[in-house]
A and B are shown apart, each in its own frame.
Chain A
Amino acid sequence: MIKAVPIAAIFIIGALFVPLLKGKIRSSYILFLPVLAFIILLNTPEGTYWAFNFLDYNLILGRIDKLSKLFGYIFIIWAFLAVLYSLHLKDNVQHLAALIYSGCALGIVFSGDLFSLYIFWEVLAISSTMLIWARRKRASIHAGFRYLLVHAVGGLSLLAGIVLYVAETGTPEFGFIGLNGTASYLILFGFCLNTAVIPLHFWVPDAYPESTVEGAIFLSVFTTKTGVYILARTFPGTELLAWLGAIMTAFPIFYAVISNDIRRVLAYSLLNQVGFMVCGIGLGTALAINGAVSHAFCNILFEGLLFMATGAVLYMTGKSNCTDLGGLYKTMPITCILCLVGAASIGGFPLFSGFISESMTISASAKENLPIMWFILQFSAVGVLHHASIKIPFFTFFSEDSGIRTKEPPFNMLLAMSIAAFLSIFIGIYPDVLYKILPEPVDYVPYTLDHVIGKLQLLLFGVLAFCLLIFSGYYPPEKRTLNLDTDWFLYRKPVQYGLPVVHFIFGGIATVMGKIFAEFFPRVLGNIVAEPLPKTKAMLSPMGVSVLIAMAFLSLLFIVFALL
């Protein structure tokens, strides 16, 4: 059935008709697209579809195997829930961008070669930026530009890597690459940037809290999880990734504790969760890969649920800072309960989905006899509980009453959250449903007595620590401040001090060139031809940065071709 139409096209081409529709017809139409895609995927046996030749290379748009099918299922389910959540929106830009964004994520999942992957990759970056800009606030516009530029750098690195890789191996096949030579490092850099692997993670807490309420639901899932999928395909068993992933689980937790914006806390918890996946991929054993993939599946549901709940609070109250919120359980009880389900799932409480997936990766590190990694991961498991399971619901819905009196969010939001919550509990109770579709055969039983007791001890004593710290006043108070992250030394400071230098050098070049081409040549030519040309200097106003980017791109291309 997929022979009829590739799944990515259902979303991307389907999105183009959105501006023509209105009201209920548009609502049913955008809900229908993911349903159609799901039915098609369900009825497509494994195999290769939509392959065609382009310039002697074999391009594949439909590679269906266990791994891509699993990610396809969850991406489509999530696209459906996120569309349902944003159904009340009248903003066509967001509907359009969100559908194209989801389509590109699916395009990457099903592509079988690096060229088609790259095209989807770039459109993914652009369409997701729209979801940040669509908030139409100054901070969002700025954050969106930073987000776009960061991804442009990642995209260039990936492109350079792909060109080198294809020249070396002669095939653009999207399969195992492994760390081996310049090409693979360039590709890994590009992939890691999208997956937000530390220290390239800064764009997540920078941009996601500035996106629209509805956009964050899409953003929180597609970019980083496509990254996880790609890494699982291309770099499984890379030791570097295992350690980066382990650090990535722990590092963001500290930031989450001292961040004020609940959506920023969630962005840091997203990094911590992706850390478990990256670590599993880096370990590379069957158990670890299963752990990484199943955690991606479960995490999309409960992390997204938390983004939905905090988004609903922002939508109804216009506030998302811990300092402004509190006591909302009185007026938003349903949202509060749904948020608690998400919180329990992300914390990994037994009977919730986090329990059956997170522990696989931790167990894999033990089986590989890596005690330090095991301690880091267990520490992070408590840390998740602390910032995501306790901090977010506590400061939003409980804590000191902020005096805000509001209502429950619109029905479509509640429905989307309820489905996500139901699925989180369902998978937690019946893990076999998920285990059956994992890429490797599963030999793992989550519900053993000692595992349940151990996990409960770990979590509840973490809760005890939180309570005692709050009561004793040692818990760091919520403050209206911002916290510097790695972007400070990676580009914020360099740009601040570097930009004048860049302006001086390239602006200088532009001025000299302007003098030559806009003044000197026209004058010389003016002496030759009868009528002097109009002065073109005005068109060549200072353009240092754009010249720099163009120069950087050209020199990168030059280096790539020189290496060929």
Chain B
Amino acid sequence: MEKQRKKELTLFDKPRNRKIVILSLYIALLILLAVDLVIHRHGDFPWETAPEFFAVYGFVACVVLVFAAKVLRFVVERKEDYYD
């Protein structure tokens, strides 16, 4: 039993592998930030050509989304059998 459980601890159960995933995400983010400073941006709006605009917007949008969803949950959440 114990042996089987150990065998099942694969891939993402190992803290080391999780760290590798997170680390590669950070590296990818740094590369994206660096590349953005070099390339020439086109865009229809002035802010589209601003450096790192999409990085900031993506991050802020996601955080706002989650906190707004928490507020929404406070308003609309009911018990599972509410309509029954």
Binding site for B on A (CB under 8 A): 253-255, 257-258, 329-330, 363, 366-367, 369, 371, 374, 378-379, 382-383, 386, 398, 401, 448-450, 453-467, 469, 474-476, 479-485, 492
Q: Which of B13, B25, B58, B67 contacts A401 (CB 8 A)?
A: B13
- For B66, list chain A residues within 8 Å (CB): 257, 386, 465, 469, 474-476
- For B32, list chain A residues within 8 Å (CB): 453, 456-457, 460
28 contacts between A and B (CB under 8 A): A255-B69, A257-B65, A258-B72, A258-B77, A329-B11, A330-B11, A382-B57, A382-B65, A448-B42, A450-B41, A453-B35, A456-B32, A457-B54, A458-B57, A458-B58, A460-B25, A460-B28, A460-B58, A461-B55, A461-B56, A462-B59, A465-B63, A467-B25, A474-B66, A474-B67, A481-B80, A482-B78, A482-B82
Cα(A219)–Cα(B70), bound, Å: 30
Give chain A's interface secondary structure class.
helix
- For B53, list chain A residues within 8 Å (CB): 454
- For B33, list chain A residues within 8 Å (CB): 457
Q: Which of B35, B45, B79 contacts A371 (CB 8 A)?
A: B45
Which residues in window 1-53 of B have CB below 8 A to A? Answer: 8, 10-13, 22, 25, 28-29, 32-33, 35-36, 39-45, 48, 52-53
User: Judging by beta carbons under 8 Å apart, are B79 and A481 in contact?
Assistant: yes
Cα(A258)–Cα(B69), bound, Å: 7
User: Judging by beta carbons under 8 Å apart, are A460 and B73 in contact?
Assistant: no
**How many Å from the CB of A387 to the closest CB on chain B?**
9
Cα(A363)–Cα(B72), bound, Å: 30
- For B35, list chain A residues within 8 Å (CB): 453
Cα(A467)–Cα(B40), bound, Å: 30
**How many Å from the CB of A442 to the closest CB on chain B?**
18
User: Judging by beta carbons under 8 Å apart, are B83 and A492 in contact?
Assistant: yes
- For A454, list chain B residues within 8 Å (CB): 36, 41, 48, 53-54
- For A378, list chain B residues within 8 Å (CB): 57, 61
Q: Which of A398, A448, A462, A485 contacts B61 (CB 8 A)?
A: A462
CB-CB nearest in chain B for A365 = B44
- For A386, list chain B residues within 8 Å (CB): 62, 65-66
Given known A-B contacts A254-B65, A462-B62, A457 and B42 have beta carbons under 8 A apart:
no
Q: Which of B45, B58, B69, B73 contacts A462 (CB 8 A)?
A: B58
Ranked 3 nearest A-B pairs via Cβ: A465-B62, A461-B58, A366-B44
User: Judging by beta carbons under 8 Å apart, are B70 and A480 in contact?
Assistant: no
User: Judging by beta carbons under 8 Å apart, are B52 and A457 in contact?
Assistant: yes
Given known A-B contacts A366-B44, A448-B42, A382 and B78 have beta carbons under 8 A apart:
no
Cα(A386)–Cα(B68), bound, Å: 14
Given known A-B contacts A329-B11, A455-B54, A482 and B80 have beta carbons under 8 A apart:
yes
